């Protein structure tokens, strides 16, 4: 992924959904909620990564 700040005892929000290329993984962690930060400079697909709307110039 695009970097993360999760550690051993981080509290994260989990949703269901399989990951095709990872055997046994059947969940996703939601970015931008609880201890898992969003991706700050993300432009596309912002809602999936907890990124704020960029300021227009």
Give the span between the Cα atoms of 31 and 47, in whole angstroms: 9
Question: Tokens for 52?
Answer: 């704020």
Rounded Cα–Cα distance for residues 24 and 42 (Å): 28
pLDDT in tens, 2-46: 788 889 999 999 999 998 899 999 999 898 889 988 888 889 988
> Which alpha helices (H) appear in the chain, and where do they start and end?
46-49
Q: What is the pLDDT of residue 32?
A: 85
Residue 16 CB partners (closer than 8 Å, separation 6+): 26, 27, 28
In this predicted structure, what is the pLDDT of residue 50? Answer: 84
Burial class (CB in 10 A: 0-12, 13-18, 19+), 18: exposed
pLDDT bin (cut points 50, 70, 90) of residue 1 is: low
Tell me the whole-structure pTM to 2 decimals: 0.70
């Amino acid at each position: 992924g695009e970097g993360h700040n999760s550690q051993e005892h981080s509290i994260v929000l989990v949703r269901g959904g399989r990951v095709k290329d990872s055997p046994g993984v059947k969940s996703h962690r939601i970015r931008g909620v609880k201890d898992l930060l969003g991706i700050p400079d993300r432009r596309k697909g912002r809602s999936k990564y907890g990124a704020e709307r960029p300021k227009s110039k």
